[in-house]
């Protein structure tokens, strides 16, 4: 079996950081030829592997694999001309600059579609490509606030909003972007028409939070900040286990699951108290319930207890650390979700694979990113057909990099 589901699709990736590079890498995993266009950096800056300046970070190491990496200063007139030539032979362009950046460079969708009527252009921005916030600068970290996630997230006994802890908005937005591109490719196959895809980080998060908005729209009620709990259901929480900072999550969301949990706990006397006999009572006395469960779990191994509870029909999982998932979690290893790769100056590390499994056309295994500017000749001389003289002139003028650079370290 081979990865051919997107064979023949060429993608120009002008994006940076997480959502855009992630979507382009997933397309590459499914067989698309992805040309990553990076900015030209002086050798003194140590451009390094994957195109990040200076020390490497998790984003380029994770999301720039399986791509052809080239450099191009498309804000110059010659660089813009080269980019336009690439657009003319491409199917998809992915970018996540503020709208003013490409407009300033004369690279609007209208201009590029005139060059390639079948072009599918994707713009990922903070708050969308239209409206008064179109040129807002920001990343996924700030979307927690703008999309109301931070307001509703936090501990039930503290009066303070809380961020998700990661740039959460980038991840669902990257996946939404892949879906939109596939839909646009199908539309073009039927009609021959390209189109513009306007993707908003904020809307990528809002789309995941419909329950909160429905609660307010229908009942005019805000979801309270609940920490590890879930409104109206108990016990739902995260409980301390044996070991240093080891925890297990347990969710008994109906009476049958509560009775199953009681049986695994050995039918303790406290669990048979009247206040815990129905869901309303358990929710009203959640603090006391959590105290009892914590006493029961604190001398148990989280992984072994989770297996025991799952066998009894209770939703329970260890609160796994990154280290445990990468090194000690057989389910992830069995499904080949991780690929171990090695990068000079960085060492060996794990890359996540595509989060789906197609039985006939499996995704290409993830790979480490190529060296900065590694594929300049392959793309500019081979795919684009520049002469060697044109290529050297562009290098001399700083429009493209004058060779590859070694990684600068980790």
Residue 333 has pLDDT above 90, yes or no: no
Residue 292: C-alpha distances to residues 269, 286, 386 (Å): 11, 10, 72
Number of H helices, E strands in the chain: 18, 11
Q: What is the pLDDT of residues 233-292, one digit of tens each?
A: 999 999 999 999 999 999 999 999 999 999 999 999 999 999 999 999 999 999 999 999
User: How buried is residue 340: exposed, middle or buried, by Cβ count under 10 Å (0-12/13-18/19+)?
Assistant: exposed
Give the distance from CA 358 to its chain's centroid. 20
Q: What is the pLDDT of residues 84-108, one digit of tens each?
A: 999 999 999 999 988 888 888 889 9
Q: What is the pLDDT of residue 53?
A: 40
User: H/E element holding 33?
Assistant: strand 33-38
The stretch 152-165 carries a mean pLDDT of: 77
Instruction: Tell me the two tokens of residue 268.
Output: 């303790």
Q: What is the pLDDT of residues 120-141, one digit of tens each?
A: 999 998 878 888 877 777 666 6
**Residue with tokens 């594929």, as numbered in its chain:** 375
Instruction: Tell me the two tokens of residue 203.
Output: 């809307």
Q: Give the list of residues 6+ apart from residue 195 with CB closer than 8 angstroms, or none.
A: 120, 121, 184, 187, 188
Give the distance from CA 250 to its chain's centroid. 26
Residue 51 has pLDDT above 50, yes or no: no
CA distance 280 to 289: 12
Q: What is the pLDDT of residue 278?
A: 96
Contacts 24+ apart (CB under 8 A), 301-306: 301/241, 301/242, 301/243, 301/246, 302/241, 302/242, 302/243, 302/246, 302/247, 302/248, 305/241, 305/248, 306/248
Mean of all residue pLDDT scores within the chain: 87
| pTM metric for this prediction | 0.85
The better pLDDT of the pair 249, 58 is held by 249
CA distance 148 to 130: 20
Residue 55 has pLDDT above 60, yes or no: no
Classified by CATH at the fold level, domain 236-240+247-318 comes out as formyl-coa transferase, domain 3 (3.30.1540)
Q: What is the pLDDT of residues 2-26, one digit of tens each?
A: 567 999 999 999 999 889 999 999 9
Question: In terms of DSSP H, where are the helices of 162-285?
Answer: 170-191, 201-206, 210-219, 255-264, 279-284
Q: What is the pLDDT of residue 405?
A: 43
**From-to residues of CATH 3.30.1540.10 in the chain:** 236-240+247-318
- Enter the CATH code of domain 10-207+334-396: 3.40.50.10540
**From-to residues of CATH 3.40.50.10540 in the chain:** 10-207+334-396
The better pLDDT of the pair 118, 153 is held by 118
Give the distance from CA 197 to its chain's centroid. 18
Q: Which residues pair with 93 in a beta bridge?
A: 12, 121
DSSP-assigned states of every residue in 333-357: HHTT-EEEEEETTTEEEEEE--S--
Q: What is the pLDDT of residue 141?
A: 65
Residue 28 has pLDDT above 60, yes or no: yes
Q: What is the pLDDT of residues 216-235, one digit of tens each?
A: 788 888 778 888 888 899 99
Q: What is the pLDDT of residue 70?
A: 96
The full 3-state SS of 233-257, as one line of letters, equals: ECCEEEEECCCCCCEEEEECCCHHH
Residue 211 near residue 217 (C-beta atoms within 8 A):
no
**Which residue, among 292, 295, 294, 316, has the nearest Cα to 304 in the 3D structure?**
316
User: H/E element holding 393?
Assistant: helix 388-396
């Amino acid at each position: 079996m081979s990865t051919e589901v997107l064979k023949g699709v060429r993608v120009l990736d002008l994006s940076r950081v997480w959502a855009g590079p992630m979507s382009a890498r997933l397309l590459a995993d499914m067989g698309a030829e992805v040309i990553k266009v990076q900015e030209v950096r002086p050798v003194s800056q140590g451009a390094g592997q994957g195109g990040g300046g200076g020390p490497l970070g998790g984003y380029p190491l994770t999301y720039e694999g399986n791509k052809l990496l080239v450099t191009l200063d498309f804000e110059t007139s010659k660089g813009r001309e080269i980019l336009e030539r690439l657009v003319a032979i491409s199917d998809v362009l992915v970018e996540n600059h503020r709208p003013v950046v490409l407009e300033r460079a004369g690279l609007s969708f209208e201009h590029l579609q005139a060059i390639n009527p079948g072009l599918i252009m994707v713009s990922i921005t903070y708050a969308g490509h239209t409206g008064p916030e179109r040129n807002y600068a920001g990343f996924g970290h700030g979307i927690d606030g703008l999309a109301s996630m931070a307001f509703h997230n936090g501990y039930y006994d503290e009066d303070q909003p809380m961020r998700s802890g990661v740039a959460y908005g980038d991840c669902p937005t990257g996946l939404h972007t892949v879906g939109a591109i596939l839909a646009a490719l199908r539309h073009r196959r039927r009609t021959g028409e390209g189109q513009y895809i306007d993707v908003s980080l904020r809307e990528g998060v809002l789309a995941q939070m419909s329950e909160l908005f429905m609660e307010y729209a229908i009942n005019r009620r805000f979801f309270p900040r609940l920490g590890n709990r879930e409104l109206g259901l108990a016990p739902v929480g995260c409980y301390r286990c044996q070991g240093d900072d080891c925890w297990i999550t347990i969710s008994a969301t109906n009476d049958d699951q509560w009775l199953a949990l009681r049986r695994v706990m050995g039918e303790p006397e406290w669990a048979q108290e009247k206040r815990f006999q129905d869901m309303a009572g358990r929710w009203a006395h959640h603090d006391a319930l959590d105290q009892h469960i914590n006493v029961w779990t604190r001398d148990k191994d989280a992984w072994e207890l989770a297996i025991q509870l799952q066998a009894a029909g209770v939703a329970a999982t260890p609160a796994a650390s990154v280290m445990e998932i990468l090194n000690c979690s057989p389910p992830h290893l069995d499904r080949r979700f991780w690929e171990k790769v090695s990068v000079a100056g960085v060492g060996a590390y794990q890359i996540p694979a595509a989060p789906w499994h197609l039985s006939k056309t499996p995704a290409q295994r993830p790979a480490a990113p190529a060296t900065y500017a590694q594929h300049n000749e392959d793309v500019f001389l081979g795919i684009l057909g520049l002469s060697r003289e044109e290529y050297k002139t562009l290098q001399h003028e700083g429009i493209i990099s004058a060779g590859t650079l070694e990684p600068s370290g980790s």
